[in-house]
Amino acid sequence: MKTRDGLQPFRTLRQAYGDKVERGEMTRDPAQEPLVAAFDRLIEDVAAKRLAAKSSSLGWLFGRKRQTREPVRGLYIHGGVGRGKTMLMDMFFELVPVRRKRRVHFNDFMAEVHDRIGRHRAAVKAGTAKGDDPIPPVARDLAEQSWVLCFDEFSVTDIADAMILSRLFSALFDEGVVLVATSNVAPDDLYRDGLNRPLFTPFIAILKRHAQILFLDADTDYRLEKLDGVPVYMHPIDAANEHRFDEAWRALVDGSVERADEVVVKGRHVPVPRAVRDAARFAFADLCEKPLAARDYLAIADRYRTIFLGGIPVMDDSRRNEAKRFILLVDTLYDRKVRLVATAQAAPTELYRGRIGAEAFEFDRTASRLIEMQSEEWRDAWEAASATQDSNGALAVRQDEPRV
């Protein structure tokens, strides 16, 4: 646990929350107080369970037969974007006194689950593993690695995920796993209108049995406040604009834990250098100088509602590949109503100076969209799209063929 100014470390989330308020890093929100109390209760429950497992004369039994332990009930927190759900979960994650804990985006976790299922089936076929059902051994391995699992942006949009969630989480809970999750969606609205949803709905009852359901009923979208008055397209790239760009990012982060992340696309891992909540920060080279395609940009746009992109250069015929990717990136962010905050060497109409190929014509549309994305009307459209995502849980439900 981290110390502060040489003093004793925080032991409760209420202490850490109050310190942030006193330092002026955030404003106290009465709507967040019940969540603070719930997280502190969970910290106490987890600490007590950990102590019992270590010090009890039956500790060896707890270690070998987790299903005999009294389960710790986790938390599932839902509410609108920008209300502080992820910030509070991050504070909990730092404070909860266990080593085997993990914070992960739910979609990445499920991609890992499917990979593990595939490896288990391959091992069975090769004769190095036994068992027709891969779920129990996969759940057992996951629980061995982390018995406190924190999921950000819990949202079920993939039929392959939906079809295995009941069995997967039943097995995880049997192994003693504690679930903490944030979501824009109430449990009863998960996978709403999804294909074969009746096969998914047993999971909702399992979730409610093993996690306390809390709604963060806050009126303020703190994301919007942090970007109020901030120019979203800054040029040229100089010390003053670099400073403004950094300041805008720091304001958006607002003291939350910033991490490297990744987006998994059909088994490939697209690195996200810096991410916090539903915002991500990239350099131009990260997204446009690497062999990324439309599917990658769509996955990024579906994950993050605000993208910071630094260092957009002026492009010419020698950088046609980068220009093509940049055109595709802007089209994707525009179509998905994702807010872009950027630094660039020149105004949008001056960014491309090539004379051959289709890029010269296509970039006219890109420049027009970059200009539009700076407007108040665009901000309103972005806010409306975010509100729609809050109520629906996802922009669209994918009806892919099951992977399992």
CATH class of the domain defined by 232-373: alpha beta
The chain-wide mean pLDDT, for the chain, equals: 82
SS3 label, residue 22? helix
| Per-residue pLDDT tens over the stretch 330-342 | 999 988 889 999 9
Q: Which has the minimum average pLDDT: 33-37, 105-109, 132-136, 178-182? A: 105-109
> How buried is residue 150: exposed, middle or buried, by Cβ count under 10 Å (0-12/13-18/19+)?
buried
Which residues share a beta bridge with 269? Answer: 264
Query: Residue 400 pLDDT > 70, yes or no?
Result: no
Confidence of residue 131 (pLDDT cuts 50, 70, 90): confident
Q: Does pLDDT of 395 surpass 50?
A: no
According to the model, what pLDDT value does residue 130 have?
A: 83
Question: pTM value?
Answer: 0.60
Q: Residue 264 pairs with which residues in a beta bridge?
A: 269
pLDDT above 60 (res 211): yes
Total Cβ atoms within 10 A of residue 239: 7
pLDDT in tens, 275-327: 988 899 999 999 999 999 888 999 999 889 899 999 999 999 999 999 999 99
The single residue listed with the structure tokens 């590949």 is 321
Asked whether 257 and 20 are in contact (CB, 8 A), the reply is: no
Domain limits, the chain: 13-215, 232-373
User: Binning pLDDT at 50, 70 and 90, where does residue 359 land?
Assistant: confident
Instruction: Compute the distance between CA of residue 39 and CA of residue 36 in angstroms, rounded to an integer.
Output: 5
With a cut of 90, say whether residue 85 has pLDDT above it.
Answer: no
Question: For 47-51, which contacts have Cβ atoms below 8 Å and span 24 or more sequence positions?
Answer: 47/96, 47/97, 50/97, 50/98
HSE value, Cβ hemisphere, 13 Å, CA-based, for 376: 2
Provide the pLDDT confidence category of residue 274 given band limits of 50, 70 and 90: very high
Cα gap 92→381, rounded to integer Å: 33
> What is the pLDDT averaged over residues 148-168?
88
**Would you say residue 367 has pLDDT above 70?**
yes
Arithmetic mean of pLDDT, 171-188: 92
- Which pLDDT band holds residue 2 (cuts at 50, 70, 90)? very low
Strand pairing category for 211-215 and 74-78: parallel
Six-digit token string for 61: 């039994």
Q: For the domain made up of 13-215, give the CATH fold.
A: Rossmann fold (3.40.50)
Tokens of 100: 């085997």
Which distant-in-sequence residues (6+ apart) come within 8 Å of 202 by Cβ?
166
| Banded pLDDT at 378 (limits 50, 70, 90) | confident
Q: What angle do CA 365, 370, 376 make, to 5 degrees?
A: 125
pLDDT band, very low/low/confident/very high, at 191 (cuts 50, 70, 90)? confident
**Distance of CA 146 to CAs 52, 101, 120, 302, 337, Å?**
18, 5, 19, 27, 35
Q: What is the pLDDT of residues 38-62, one digit of tens each?
A: 999 999 999 888 877 666 544 444 4
Which residue shows structure tokens 């009941």?
Answer: 166
The percent of residues in the chain predicted with pLDDT above 90, rounded, is 42
Amino acid at 283: A
Each residue's pLDDT tens digit, 103-120: 988 878 888 899 999 999
Task: Please say whether the beta carbons of 272 and 262 come within 8 A.
Answer: yes
Q: Are 177 and 122 in contact (CB under 8 A)?
A: no
**Residue spans of alpha helices (H) in 102-201:** 106-126, 135-145, 159-174
pLDDT score recorded for residue 175:
92
Closest by CA position to 26, among listed 222, 170, 307: 222
Task: Please indicate whether the domains covering 13-215 and 232-373 agree at the CATH topology level.
Answer: yes
CA distance 170 to 191: 18
pLDDT by residue (tens digit) across 195-210? Answer: 888 989 999 999 999 9
